[in-house]
Amino acid sequence: MRYLPLTDTDREDMLARIGVSDVDALFSDVPAGKLLKSPVDLPRAKGELEVERILGRMAGKNTAASAVPFFVGAGAYKHHVPATVDHLIQRSEFLTSYTPYQPEIAQGTLQYLFEFQTQVAALTGMEVANASMYDGSTGTGEAVLMAHRVTKRRKAVLSGGLHPHYTAVVETLSEMANDEVVALKPDVSAQEDILSQIDDSTSCVVVQSPDVFGNLRDLKPIAEKAHAHGALLIAVFTEVVSLGAVVPPGAQDADIVVGEGQSIGNALNFGGPYVGLFAAKSKYIRQMPGRLCGETVDSTGQRGFVLTLSTREQHIRRDKATSNICTNSGLCVLAFTIHMTLLGQTGLARLAEVNHANAVKLADALAGVEGVTVLNDSFFNEFTVKLKKPAAEVVEVLAAKGILAGVPVSRLLPKAGLDDLLIIASTEVNTDEDRAALVAALVEVL
Amino acid sequence: MLNRQGRPTQAGEASHEEHLTFTGNKALQQIEPLIFEIGHHEATGVDIDKPAPFKSRLGKHARQGEIGLPGLSEPETMRHYVRLSQKNYGIDTGLFPLGSCTMKHNARLNEKMARLPGFSDVHPLQPLSSVPGALDLMLELARYLMTLTGMPAVALSPKAGAHGEACGMMAIKAAIAAKGEGATRNVVLVPESAHGTNPATAALIGFSVKAVPARPDGTVAVEDVKALLGPDIAAIMLTNPNTCGIFEPQIVEIAAAMHEAGAYFYCDGANFNAIVGKARPGDLGVDAMHINLHKTFSTPHGGGGPGAGPVVLSERLAPFAPVPFIHVENGKPHLIETRGEAPAGNQPFGRMTAFHGQMGMYVRALAYMLSHGSDGMRQASEDAVLNANYIRAGLADLMSLPFPDHPSMHEVLFDDEWLKGSGVSTLDFAKAMIDEGYHPMTVYFPLVVHGAMLIEPTESESKAALDLFIATLRDLAIAAKGNDKERFTSAPHHAPIRRLDETRAARSPVLKWEKPAPAKAAE
């Protein structure tokens, strides 16, 4: 077996040194009858070539985003990632290291975490950011729990514009912990009356912008009302590229900001691994979940970085910890921070501008198609259209024509009576030809 | 003396034979500033054309003013991160015996497979008709995990070990609620030796935690568990092999006692690498167990993730598995994504995460499993256990074993009894290992022994590598007991940086770069 260095001679010599006759003597604590006598019923070892064939066949059955006109978003986005990013994250010293428990030989990881935290804080307009969560949805769940700790209240109000998967994650966590959740109905018009839901028992209000339907939301009045009642505003985003073009949540007085960072540096990966961004006002820092990297000095006075404030964490505080999170999204953080370093604010602003321009072009073109109504007043790179036929059916027909047209709202919210709605994203990867193909196909199908 | 960045190039207390350099660099060891110190706000490493003029639809939401982020050109970016990488120790660098973390070889075939466009470049919400191969892969991974564990169901979506723990414990909570015992069964037993995520997870979802004492031999006794059982007990969270590196000899009796009392057995599978193909959790009475794909199945650790934590479930818990899951009907797979779509007999407790979990890690884990095969996985576990016991045999006369009565499984635990009176601590010893070119073992965990040193070599090490490791630790141990305190207390001497002041970092946290205030003219 190519991965195992020991030879049979080595094994014999080592058993002799240990003083046992065979390896099963080392498994003597396994209860009688429970030690397997032979390998389990699965195929035997295979060479690289055979593994490549098997997995290549599976992969070949899937339609890759790059292969077709592609407009699917709703929480994960197809973007171009510079070649430098994937090269660097595969360097051995990044790929095969672990959580930097020994900072003297992990300054590479620690320094990029510190740089990442600084980048996320700047992007969101917040004072501090942590070293990442698993993804945006689990980060949102953790943000709600954090708000409960800060306010010592247990009721969260969720906007109907929150991604339905995120809503489900928060509801699951809350149900388990016996916390209250008020989830507003999905509302494509973004006209929901969230302010009237906020009262003195509210711990937090969770609002996504751009919301799942693509609408840009004004967070400031919500922050004001929340603060007047001693509640926190948790601002959520699923498209981090939007922060290159829109007012950041920090400037609208959000208390906690959480979002999905996949768009920068990370592939679609059929849903994971992704990277959760998590930022807050610094006064809440000791209630934050997750790893934090901080600056310090070594015994000679040289600057260095360490994981810090770990008295919040599970390995110290156990059942009193702020979260159970341990391993998070290290390598996805690295991909994010390298891509963000390449972009800089200049490149990010340009990238955001191109995304917005492409979405505007597409929305304008679709507005001219009979049977299509664009529903958004404002949007960034994603918007929702109403079709005269069920969106899921239209998407299937277009998929058969080699166009991946978007996400039917019914995929996220079955039986919600929103079957005619389609969420469409257009990023920098789309060409004029892609858009023309989508428009032509819709004209034909509707 | 200051270098060009205005920082001290070296230390007052550094040895006098060291030659100072103008830059502060030491050949391949380079001081690398932060991107905020070398980048510029107008610089960028990407070329994106400005779009033709268009009418913005951002409305009043358009950003005003600068973000405040520097950029770097592509060559500068490359050099920055390559230099940072050179300050890191990885498995590819050398022996990485970090106990309970299973730092085994990361095959690049797995990376290559995960990057096939059919896996990496597919969207979680594109029509399912366009991703049949993705569902095939998930089903195949599930089959491997169920076969290896002898369990009838698996929830794939949890994102890492602790997230898997939460998933398993939520399934238990849902099963208890379904029996109408939700109000009364709310205590979870957790041994003192458990990883911190166990009690943190139990508390996260509304259980209170009661500690099970560790026996003097490092195992959990069924009598101690029975003494705590009652109508309030929901479950036990037990790691097996446990955090002391011992297979729990009474695990079957403990499982039976839990079931008899109407409670469940959650097994922390962090140490599954010791028993893959050798023993099946399903045969031991386990109700739920997460599997850290990044440990046992070598989807890389990546500097702290991403991981993946699928949870295998018993027949009793399977109906409560969260969405999404794949339901096979008439040989056709259907992805069930919402509670409302669940077929009869299923009562999913909810959703752990957006989308379908860590697909990129599933591919890597399956590539590992296909490569090893059932024979190779069994051999890997045997070798992992053999390697740990070989290290134990090589060091037991010099270092102290707190639990000598049981063979070690894939990791061997020493305490600091043998360092008593030497003036050298476990931490000092670990830092001296850095100077010798090793990543230290896990230190001060588990908490049940004093000054713990938990060594997990994994199956990836050759006998020659182990022999040198043992010889090195013997040399260090003799020095620690001798008069060579300096070698330890001020270690590491040869790392890119000297020992870091963690207290200072926590006392006044600096968690991001701030633009330095302009220097005062008078200074």
pLDDT in tens, A326-371: 888 999 999 999 999 999 999 999 999 999 999 999 999 999 999 9
Residue A286 in 3-state DSSP? helix
> Which tokens belong to B369?
């499993």
> Are A311 and A410 within one domain?
no
> Are A77 and A92 within one domain?
no
> Which residue, among A82, A66, A74, A77, has the nearest Cα to A265 in the 3D structure?
A82
Q: Residue A384 and residue A426: Cα distance in Å, rounded?
A: 12
pLDDT in tens, B19-77: 889 998 989 889 999 999 999 999 999 999 999 999 999 999 999 989 999 999 999 99
In this complex, the residue of B80, B127, B147 whose CB is nearest that of residue A395 is B127
Q: Percentage of residues in chain A with pLDDT exceeding 70?
A: 100
Any chain B CB within 8 A of the CB of A296?
yes
How crowded is the C-beta side of B80, counted as CA atoms within 13 Å?
Answer: 26
Q: What is the mean pLDDT of chain B?
A: 95
Q: Residue A384 and residue A410: Cα distance in Å, rounded?
A: 13
Position B133 scores a pLDDT of 98
What would the mean pLDDT of B345-371 be, rounded to a whole number? Answer: 98
* Residue B520 binned pLDDT confidence (cut-offs 50, 70, 90): low
Any chain A CB within 8 A of the CB of B329?
no
Position B521 scores a pLDDT of 52
Domains held by chain A: number? 2
Could you tell me which residues come within 8 angstroms of residue B326 by beta carbon, excluding any fewer than 6 positions away?
B135, B138, B139, B142, B333, B334, B335, B336
> Are A322 and A352 within one domain?
no
DSSP conformation class of B491: -
Any chain B CB within 8 A of the CB of A390?
no
> Are A327 and A388 within one domain?
no
Listed residues A339, A369, A395: the one ending a domain: A339
pLDDT in tens, B281-322: 999 999 999 999 999 999 999 999 999 999 999 999 999 999
Interface of B with A in 212-241 (CB under 8 A): none
> Are A129 and A229 within one domain?
yes
Contact between B123 and A171 using a beta-carbon 8 Å cutoff? no
Residue A154 clears pLDDT 60, i.e. is over it:
yes
Cα dist. A424→A167, A262, A375, A396, B183 in Å?
A: 20, 18, 11, 14, 45
Q: Which residues of A touch B340 (CB under 8 A)?
A: 414-415
Q: Residue A211 and residue B350: Cα distance in Å, rounded?
A: 22
Could you tell me which residues come within 8 angstroms of residue A393 by beta carbon, excluding any fewer than 6 positions away?
none
> Which tokens belong to B16?
């006098």
Between B10-19, B142-151, B475-484, the lowest mean confidence (pLDDT) is in: B10-19
pLDDT in tens, A384-414: 999 999 999 999 999 999 999 999 999 999 9
Q: What is the mean pLDDT of chain A?
A: 97
Position B2 scores a pLDDT of 41
Q: Residue B480 and residue B429: Cα distance in Å, rounded?
A: 8
Parse chain B into domains and list their residue ranges: 110-366, 376-507
Return the CATH number of B376-507, one of 3.40.50.720, 3.50.50.60, 3.30.300.30, 3.90.1150.10. 3.90.1150.10
Q: Residue B337 and residue A411: Cα distance in Å, rounded?
A: 8
CA distance B452 to chain A (A): 14
Tell me whether residue A193 is in a domain.
yes
Q: Percentage of residues in chain A with pLDDT exceeding 90?
A: 95
Any chain B CB within 8 A of the CB of A441?
no
pTM of the predicted model as reported, rounded to 2 decimal places? 0.97
Interface of B with A in 331-390 (CB under 8 A): 337-338, 340-341, 349-361, 363, 366-367, 369-380, 382-383, 385-387, 389-390
CATH number at residue A302: 3.40.640.10
pLDDT in tens, B492-517: 999 999 999 999 999 999 999 999 88
pLDDT in tens, B218-273: 999 999 999 999 999 999 999 999 999 999 999 999 999 999 999 999 999 999 99
Which of B7-43 are b and which e, b meaning 16 or more Cβ less than 10 Å from the residue's Cβ? Answer: eebbeeeeeeeeeeeeebebeeebbbebbbebbeeeb
Residue A15 clears pLDDT 70, i.e. is over it:
yes
* Residue whose structure tokens are 């295979």: A46
Contact between A75 and B101 using a beta-carbon 8 Å cutoff? no
> Are A220 and A249 within one domain?
yes
Q: Residue A429 and residue A354: Cα distance in Å, rounded?
A: 10
Position B19 scores a pLDDT of 81
Answer yes or no: are the C-beta atoms of B119 and B137 closer than 8 Å.
yes
Residue B452 clears pLDDT 90, i.e. is over it:
yes
Q: Residue B294 and residue B277: Cα distance in Å, rounded?
A: 18
> Are A366 and A320 within one domain?
no
> Are A376 and A412 within one domain?
yes
Residue B3 clears pLDDT 50, i.e. is over it:
no
Position B518 scores a pLDDT of 81
What would the mean pLDDT of B75-84 be, rounded to a whole number? Answer: 98
> Are A245 and A102 within one domain?
yes
Could you tell me which CATH number the domain at B110-366 has? 3.40.640.10
> Are A173 and A185 within one domain?
yes
pLDDT in tens, A22-54: 999 999 999 999 999 999 999 999 999 999 999
Compute and round to an integer the Cα radius of gyration of chain A: 25
Position A375 scores a pLDDT of 98
pLDDT in tens, A295-333: 999 999 999 999 999 988 888 888 888 888 888 899 999
Helix (H) or strand (E) holding A86: helix A83-89
Residue A10 clears pLDDT 90, i.e. is over it:
yes
* Residue B1 binned pLDDT confidence (cut-offs 50, 70, 90): very low
Tell me whether residue A41 is in a domain.
no
Expressed as residue numbers, the domain containing A428 is 65-81+346-445
* Residue whose structure tokens are 């080392």: A26
> Which residue, among A147, A120, A83, has the nearest Cα to A293 in the 3D structure?
A120
Cα dist. B329→B128, B132, B133, B317, B343 in Å?
A: 15, 15, 17, 20, 10
* Residue B483 binned pLDDT confidence (cut-offs 50, 70, 90): confident
- A183, β-bridge pairs: A158
Interface of A with B in 405-424 (CB under 8 A): 407, 411-415
> Are A106 and A213 within one domain?
yes
Position B523 scores a pLDDT of 42
> In this predicted model, which residue has the larger pLDDT, B65 or B108?
B108
Answer yes or no: are the C-beta atoms of A313 and A324 closer than 8 Å.
no
Any chain A CB within 8 A of the CB of B402?
no
Any chain A CB within 8 A of the CB of B465?
yes
> Which residue, among B309, B261, B266, has the nearest Cα to B285 in the 3D structure?
B266
Residue in chain B closest to A391 (alpha carbons) equals B127
Contact between A298 and B498 using a beta-carbon 8 Å cutoff? yes
CATH number at residue A366: 3.90.1150.10
> Are A330 and A418 within one domain?
no
